[in-house]
């Protein structure tokens, strides 16, 4: 029915099957939309957040997807600026995944702030000292860059591309893409850092506070490193998932292994500094404010196991796996390492968001615990469903994988 819209020379599932798949996605999306309407109409009181936990599942989700979306800027940087040609086989997917992650994060933020109508105040009344101002600037600007990077792919749709003007426009945008890749790398590096800086500057929160270099706390650099250490393999995971789902080979394994090598290298650098930072925090900063490492943890919900899971199981282990060619070059192990890596960065973002504010700073105060309720889950699932929907449409109608024809 819609086969004339498919990319050149590839097969897609039947229209009926496509409709059923889309309907399932829309089912989840609608559930999330209902929760989003409740939040916007009734207020954020509908969530599980409270005065102790002003940040919760939404902020964790935002930070995690932004870190995982880092594949877009980092791969763009390596492909367009450092000219690693092999990455062109996966670059389109990294851009689309990046776009989904960033636009999704912005949608969640719209729900998360109490006055969404005032979101533009970040530009109108900016506080240049706030890390969050930089985050607002960079995320919105970088999302625009991702849209610009996404447009040529849309213009290359088979039917549209027959129009000479659109063909020429797409071609010219491609030629100048290095400029946007550079701009994107700059913006993205800064806001990945600012997201970490947001926690590192909290002088009143010993769990997160870090000293640093000039105005940037160490968490600034750690967040950049952890994002580039996990974003590229998240794209590999998305690609692998799509291959399983469609039963086709979409990107050759060599490219995936290269992405694994890139992420693994960055993850090694990250783990080195993360362990150093944790050690310095536990032995330097905490004692200086009359606290101990043990006091930072509580029960099972905020126990040390979280930190060890993040650093050892989902940090050191995947780092070793990804830099060892013998392990990296076996698909099952590459995907396992990628899963651990991505899970680790999510745990890191959760710890920095929730445990930071769960720790009772006043000596007579008590630990409080936080659990998101269905409204927060549903609205986050809405964003995941939105991602599925975008990828479904892009895969069906746009030339996402340049290698697809030769591999199948």
Partner 1 sequence: MHVKEFKIKWGMVIDIDKCTGCGACMVGCQVENNIAPMTKSDPYNYAQALTKDRDDASNKLRTLTWMNVYELSNGKAFPEHETAYLPRPCMQCGNPACVPVCPVVATDKNEEGGIVSQIYPRCIGCRYCMAACPYHARYFNWWDPLWPEGMDKGLSPAASVRPRGVVEKCNFCHSRYMEAKNQARMDGEDPMNLSEGAYTTACQEICPTGAIHFGDLNNPEHAVHELHKSPNAFRLLEKLGLSPQVYYMSEREWVRKQGDNYNAGGSGH
Enumerate binding residues for partner 1 (CB under 8 A): 38, 41-46, 49-52, 54-55, 112-115, 118-119, 121-122, 124-127, 129-133, 135-136, 198, 201-206, 285, 288-291, 356-357, 361-365, 368, 375
Could you tell me if 146 and 98 are in contact, meaning their C-beta atoms sit under 8 angstroms apart? yes
Rounded Cα distance, 408 and 404, in Å: 6
Smallest distance, partner 1 to C-beta of residue 109, A: 8
CA dist 308 → 26, 223, 280, 305 (Å): 38, 18, 16, 5
Smallest distance, partner 1 to C-beta of residue 130, A: 5
Sequence-ordered list of residues with C-beta below 8 angstroms from that of 79, at least 6 positions apart, any chain = 85, 87, 88, 91, 181
Smallest distance, partner 1 to C-beta of residue 122, A: 5
| CA angle, residues 284, 344, 196, in degrees to nearest 5 | 55
Beta carbon nearer to partner 1, 3 or 51: 51
Smallest distance, partner 1 to C-beta of residue 207, A: 10
Beta carbon nearer to partner 1, 82 or 203: 203
Smallest distance, partner 1 to C-beta of residue 170, A: 37
Beta carbon nearer to partner 1, 280 or 323: 280
Beta carbon nearer to partner 1, 123 or 279: 123
**Which 3 state secondary structure label does DSSP give 298?**
strand
Max Cα-Cα span within the chain: 72
Smallest distance, partner 1 to C-beta of residue 191, A: 13
Could you tell me if 232 and 384 are in contact, meaning their C-beta atoms sit under 8 angstroms apart? no
Could you tell me if 288 and 311 are in contact, meaning their C-beta atoms sit under 8 angstroms apart? no
Joined together, the tokens standing for residue 155 give 């213009």
Rounded Cα distance, 102 and 351, in Å: 21
CB atoms within 10 A of CB 121: 12
Beta carbon nearer to partner 1, 270 or 359: 359
Rounded Cα distance, 275 and 218, in Å: 12
Give the residues across from 189 on adjacent strands.
none
Beta carbon nearer to partner 1, 284 or 325: 284
Helix-strand-coil split of the chain, %, nearest 5: 75, 0, 25
Beta carbon nearer to partner 1, 129 or 162: 129
Which H helix or E strand runs over 212? strand 212-213
Joined together, the tokens standing for residue 133 give 């101002």
Rounded Cα distance, 333 and 320, in Å: 11
Smallest distance, partner 1 to C-beta of residue 141, A: 15
DSSP label at residue 318: H
Smallest distance, partner 1 to C-beta of residue 335, A: 35
Beta carbon nearer to partner 1, 122 or 231: 122
Rounded Cα distance, 351 and 70, in Å: 20
Rounded Cα distance, 119 and 110, in Å: 8
Smallest distance, partner 1 to C-beta of residue 129, A: 5
Beta carbon nearer to partner 1, 55 or 388: 55
Smallest distance, partner 1 to C-beta of residue 374, A: 10
Beta carbon nearer to partner 1, 1 or 203: 203
């Amino acid at each position: 029915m819609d086969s004339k819209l498919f990319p050149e020379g590839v097969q897609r599932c039947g229209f009926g099957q496509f409709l059923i798949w889309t309907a399932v996605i829309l089912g989840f999306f609608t559930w999330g939309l209902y929760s989003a309407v409740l939040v916007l109409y009734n207020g954020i009181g509908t969530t599980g957040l409270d005065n102790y936990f002003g940040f919760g599942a939404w902020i964790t989700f935002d930070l995690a997807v932004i870190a995982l979306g880092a594949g877009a800027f980092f791969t763009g940087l390596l492909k367009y600026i450092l000219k690693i040609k092999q990455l062109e086989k996966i670059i389109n997917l990294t851009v689309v995944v990046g776009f989904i992650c960033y636009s999704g994060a912005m949608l969640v933020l719209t729900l998360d702030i109490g006055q969404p109508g005032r979101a533009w105040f970040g530009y109108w009344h900016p506080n240049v000292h706030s890390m969050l101002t930089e985050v607002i600037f960079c995320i919105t600007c970088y999302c625009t860059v991702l849209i610009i990077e996404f447009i040529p792919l849309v213009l290359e749709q088979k039917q549209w591309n027959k129009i000479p003007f659109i063909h020429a426009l797409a071609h010219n945008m491609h030629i100048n893409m290095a400029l946007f890749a550079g701009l994107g790398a700059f913006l993205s590096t800064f806001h990945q850092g600012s997201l970490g800086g947001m926690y590192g500057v909290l002088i009143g929160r010993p769990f997160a506070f870090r000293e640093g270099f000039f105005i940037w706390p160490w968490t600034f650099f750690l967040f950049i490193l952890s994002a580039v250490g996990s974003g590229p393999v998240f794209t590999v995971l998305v690609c692998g998932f799509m291959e399983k789902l469609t039963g086709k080979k979409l990107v050759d394994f060599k490219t995936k292994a290269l992405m694994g090598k890139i992420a693994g290298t960055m993850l090694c650098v990250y783990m080195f500094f993360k362990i150093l930072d944790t050690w310095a925090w536990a032995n330097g900063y905490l004692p200086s404010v009359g606290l101990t490492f043990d006091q930072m943890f509580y029960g099972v919900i905020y126990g040390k196991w979280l930190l060890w899971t993040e650093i050892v199981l989902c940090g050191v282990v995947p780092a070793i796996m990804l830099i060892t060619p013998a392990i990296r070059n076996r698909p099952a192990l590459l995907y396992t390492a990628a899963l651990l890596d991505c899970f680790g960065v999510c745990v890191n973002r959760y710890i920095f968001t929730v445990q930071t504010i769960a720790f009772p700073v006043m000596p007579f105060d008590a630990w409080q615990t936080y659990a998101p309720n269905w409204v927060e889950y549903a609205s986050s699932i809405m964003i995941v469903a939105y991602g599925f929907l975008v990828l479904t449409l892009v895969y069906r109608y746009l030339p996402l994988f340049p290698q697809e024809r030769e591999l199948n």
